[in-house]
Chain A
Amino acid sequence: MTKTRKGPIIFSKSKPFSGLKNAIDIGRSEVLDYVRKSNIKGRGGAGFPTGVKWNLTATASDKKKYVICNADEGEPGTFKDRVLLDEYAKLVFEGMVICAFAVGADEGILYLRGEYISFLPELEKTLNQMRKNNLLGKNILGKKGFNFDIKIRLGVGAYVCGEETSLIESLEGYRGEPRNKPPFPTNTGFAGHPTVINNVETFAAIAHIILKGPDWFRSIGTEKSSGSKLISVSGDCKKPGVYEIPFGTTIKKILKLTEAKDTKAVEVGGASGVCVAKSEFGRKIAYEDLSTGGSIIIFSKKRDLLEVAKNFLDFFAEESCGQCTPCREGIPVLQEKLDKLQQKKATKGDLEDIFSLAETMYLASKCGLGQTAASAFVSILSNFKKDYVLVKS
């Protein structure tokens, strides 16, 4: 299924492991500097500056450090990591090795979602090849004292484990319940040791940054959002799939690229994202505008957006870990209110309740799941007032 993909960074041509070779040539502190100067931010959706994360881990005083690749891609509508793991695994592993070199880690873990188990044999094969070629193991590429290896751990079906502290809990053999932060994994991560956790796509971009430099990387994208983003486009369009776009690309452009017609709404960021109306299709994919892990779902005029909201809420009800109250108790109430809306029995008071509850969940939930569970629902109610009616109380 491999096809030639084209894009400004990740899908651009590069010789495998030339980024790693360059990393070893320029040295640890220069690598950290490149990453910081490139201004790359986490590609999983949260957008935390990668350079800051790496620096914190690099400067943490502990002999044991870990590098974890978060391949627990579970946001509805996202499948870019599937493509990267399938077609660009070397690039992802290369990013991990560069990270280990920069922060001084000797163990790496790829946390692969259980749904992607079919990629496991090929990924193991790639790791074995890397071991043979001294790209993993002891004294990597002749660099004395640079020891690092990667193992793969499989998830067992839990969306919340994409949250980094919950992923660590899962690796340690516990229920995937998010931890309180701080402490952050950069200091207290897997097994209590400093840990870098990055998204698959972040690691894939790193090798290019180290090879071609931070200035080159910053020349792509917008001032605040450097580089490119992989987007996973699905729904009502002719050409669904994974595209690499520079940050700053508008929704309009994406719709044109994927040959979507009669579009009524675009969900940006999956179930935890926002539903954008036609009047706002000029908005951009960027951390400062529409920030996303890459899920783009297109809805044509024939779609009932309350049904979409229902699908998302049902998803969160299933995936909430149940640990904290606003999320666990909030979602069922939202489901009830939505049911009332669908039966055309909801009042203005119900609507106000929804908005107020959504705010409470946003402010009081422990992790991103609870904080954003009401996000799509609220944006549908705000942006698509014609899609529902209220009765007088």
Chain B
Amino acid sequence: MDKMCSVSKTITQGKKKIQVCDATRSQLIPILRQIQEKKGYISDKNMQEVASSLGIHPVEVYSVVTFYSFLTTEKKGKHIIRISNCISSVMAGSKRIIKIFEKELGIKVGETTKDKKLSLEETSCIGMCDQAPAALIDGNLIGKLTAKKVKNIVKELKK
């Protein structure tokens, strides 16, 4: 929770209650991040509720959700693997790494496994070019990917 926040407020998300900082518009993205993290996506109903708690139109919330690549209206997997597609990663073999992930997971890049456990995506440069090919996996930066490393990662995440 935001440390410099003076007013804290509880908003209801379905059955869950989420503590949010003083409900001003500038808290919109932190609130949406929280929902995304907890549920794996932001539903229409979430957007309605967030909008009314902040006193803005739901369309405003929708426009923000659809702008940012880490906020989604579709349910993503519990774990998200994002492979950097920047040129340094490509030169270091990221396309081959993607193929290995696809084979191990049985899905194509951009898809989520049927059990909603894993999503595989490409992403813009993640700032790991010195350790390319690299990926952002559930918020962790992982570099120097190899076939062996990929297999181990998938094994761990599938658990």
Q: Which residues of A contact B (CB under 8 A)?
A: 73-79, 81-82, 107, 113-118, 149, 151, 153-154, 156-159, 170-176, 191, 232-236, 240-242, 267, 270-271, 297, 299, 303, 308, 311-312, 314-315, 318-319, 321
Contact = CB atoms under 8 A, between A and B. Distances in A.
B7 interface: no
Interface stretch (B10-18, B22-30, B104-112, B149-157): B22-30
Given A77-B125, A297-B87, A311-B85, 13 more contacts: A76-B124, A77-B129, A78-B125, A79-B130, A118-B140, A149-B4, A156-B71, A157-B69, A157-B70, A173-B25, A173-B26, A234-B88, A235-B87
Contacts of A321: 67
Nearest to B131: A240
**Interface of chain A, main secondary structure:** mixed
A370 to B, nearest CB: 16
A114 B29 CA distance: 12
Contact of A173 (B27, B124, B130): B27
28 contacts: A73-B127, A74-B124, A75-B125, A76-B88, A76-B125, A77-B88, A77-B129, A79-B128, A79-B129, A82-B128, A116-B141, A156-B32, A156-B70, A157-B68, A157-B123, A173-B25, A173-B54, A173-B64, A175-B64, A175-B67, A176-B68, A233-B130, A234-B129, A234-B130, A236-B91, A297-B87, A311-B85, A315-B86
Given A76-B86, A234-B132, A171 B26 contact: yes
A271 B88 CA distance: 11
Contact of A232 (B24, B123, B129, B136): B129
B124 A318 contact: yes
A151 B33 CA distance: 16
Interface residues of B, number: 40
B114 to A, nearest CB: 25
A137 to B, nearest CB: 11
Interface string B137-159: 00111000000000000000000
A76 to B, nearest CB: 4
Nearest to A127: B3
B2 interface: yes
Given A78-B127, A157-B70, A235 B91 contact: yes
A232 B130 contact: yes
A115 B130 contact: no
Nearest to A296: B129
A1 to B, nearest CB: 10
B130 A242 contact: yes
Contacts of B100: none
Given A157-B70, A172-B26, A118 B141 contact: yes
A70 B141 CA distance: 20
A158 B88 contact: no
B6 interface: no
A62 to B, nearest CB: 17
A175 B54 CA distance: 16
Interface of B: 2-4, 24-30, 32-33, 54, 63-64, 67-71, 85-88, 90-91, 123-132, 136, 139-141
A229 B68 CA distance: 31
B4 A107 contact: yes
Contacts of B139: 117-118
Contacts of B90: 311
A25 B4 CA distance: 28
A172 B54 CA distance: 13
Contacts of A114: 70
Contact of B130 (A156, A158, A241): A241
Nearest to B69: A157
Interface-central residue, B3, B25, B130, by most chain A CB under 10 Å: B130
A156 B87 CA distance: 22
A314 B87 CA distance: 11
Contacts of A73: 127
B96 to A, nearest CB: 15
Interface-central residue, B24, B67, B68, B128, by most chain A CB under 10 Å: B67
Given A79-B129, A116-B127, A232-B130, A312 B4 contact: no
A236 B75 CA distance: 38
Interface-central residue, A76, A77, A116, A240, by most chain B CB under 10 Å: A76
Contacts of A233: 130
Contact of B91 (A79, A158, A303): A303
Chain A to chain B: the 4 pairs with minimum beta-carbon distance, closest first:
A173-B28, A234-B129, A157-B69, A157-B70
Contact of A115 (B29, B127, B131): B127
Contacts of A79: 127-130
Contacts of A176: 67-68
